[in-house]
Amino acid sequence: MLTAEMSEDQIFAELLNRHGSHTPAVELKIKAPTVKEILRLKQERNAVILGHNYMEPVVYDVADYQGDSLELSRRAAQTTADMIVFCGVKFMAETAKVLNPDKTVLVPSQKAGCSLAAGITAQDVRDLREQFPDVPVVTYINTYADVKAESDVCCTSGNATKVVEWTMSQFGTEKVIFLPDEYLAGNVARETGRRIIYPTKRMSPNPQPGLDYQMIGWHARCEVHEKFTVHDIHRVREEYAKTGEEVLIFAHPECSPEVIAESDYSASTSIMIAEVKKHPHAAILLLTECSMGDNIIASNPDANIIRMCSIRCPHMNTITVENTRDALLNVQYQVDVPEDIRIRAALAVQRMIAIG
């Protein structure tokens, strides 16, 4: 564990111990003084650093709390620190601000966007509500605050099914609008045996009479997870079949339903990390952002993880130790959410946290 009391040499030794097997020593040596500065500034500012599972390993190490969107939202709701530095993408930092209006919330890079979050607007949600009156809206946490504000409840990839069941029972409906991830919606529909439609703006005023559906989806996708294919899985299985070694495929629920159907396990990033520990003797192909594999290896040096590092999230990768240090040093870049939006978004997020 890294602490502000450690010298640069001690920090370097710790980084080398954790990442020496997959990161050149010189790279870790260069990062050690910046890590030292982050640890000092964190104390000085009474700041907490939240690090998403997709952070590059050294950024992940400087975080006080690591996890997926749900875990980090919970941490953000509980913190007593004056400042939150969110090492993740902007919609995550916005969620922290929604839950902590009186705290300073920073995101280290202004380029930390997300293809899913950018795939839907608040006006799109209002249009869908008009098109499907009285149907409650479940929105994936990977959206901006103004979209959350138009929703009844949020969910993460870890609790999407539970939230859909809760919403239908709570609102007494047979239908739910699930936004914006096309694949996550398809996977929830498949898992719960429900039929899903993806309406277009031209589908007016409503789908054809008599059409049997219980979920209404949207066409946004994660630009990382949509790239994994069934062919990737077959290739890896074929290679391992030649050696007789056991191989398991873990896929994130933002992958396509076809990929999920061919996988052995599908769950949020934090649940995947816990599941890896239960299979110490198998090789595990992780179909998710590559940095997560590095972070798993750092805490489980014997884990046999296969990653597809040709596919990286260009947004998560804009967060570095250098811009995390700059965020603390210059108190940049502050995340703000207009109060009327914040209040409505907070209700949807707090419902999600309460459902668990």
Q: Is 155 in the site for ligand SF4 (CB under 6 A)?
A: no
Q: Which region, judged by CB under 6 A, interacts with ligand SF4, from 3-11, 22-30, 229-237, 311-319?
A: 311-319
In the list 28, 35, 83, 116, the residue contacting ligand SF4 (rule: CB under 6 A) is: 116
> Does residue 320 touch ligand SF4 according to CB under 6 A?
no
The CA-atom distances, in angstroms, between 121 and each of 141, 152, 180 are 14, 15, 10
Determine if 222 is a binding residue for ligand SF4 (CB under 6 A). Answer: yes
Q: Mapping DSSP to helix (H, G, I), strand (E, B) and coil, where does residue 117 land? A: helix
Amino acid in the structure at residue 57: P
List the one residue from 23, 66, 139, 142 that touches ligand SF4 (CB under 6 A): 142
Interaction of residue 160 with ligand SF4, rule CB under 6 A: no
Site for ligand SF4 contains 318 (CB under 6 A): no
**Biggest CA pair distance of the chain:** 70
Strands (DSSP E) contained in 172-262 are: 176-179, 196-197, 215-216, 247-251
- Per rule CB under 6 A, is residue 223 in the interface with ligand SF4? yes
The residue among 266 and 304 lying less far from ligand SF4, judged by its C-beta, is: 266
Q: What separation in angstroms does the CA of 178 have from each of 69, 138, 171, 216?
A: 18, 5, 14, 6
**Residue selected from 39, 89, 137, 345 as contacting ligand SF4 according to rule CB under 6 A:** 89
Total residues in contact with ligand SF4, by rule CB under 6 A: 12
Window 44-73: residues binding ligand SF4 (CB under 6 A)? none
Buried b (16+ CB within 10 A) or exposed e, 59-68: bbbbbeebbb
Report how far apart, in Å, the C-alpha atoms of 232 and of each of 37, 236, 262, 314 are.
41, 6, 10, 21
Query: Which is nearer to ligand SF4, 11 or 335 (by Cβ)?
Result: 335
- Which residue in the block uniquely carries the two structure tokens 């630009």? 223
For ligand SF4, the binding residues (CB under 6 A) are 89, 114-116, 142, 222-224, 289, 313, 315-316
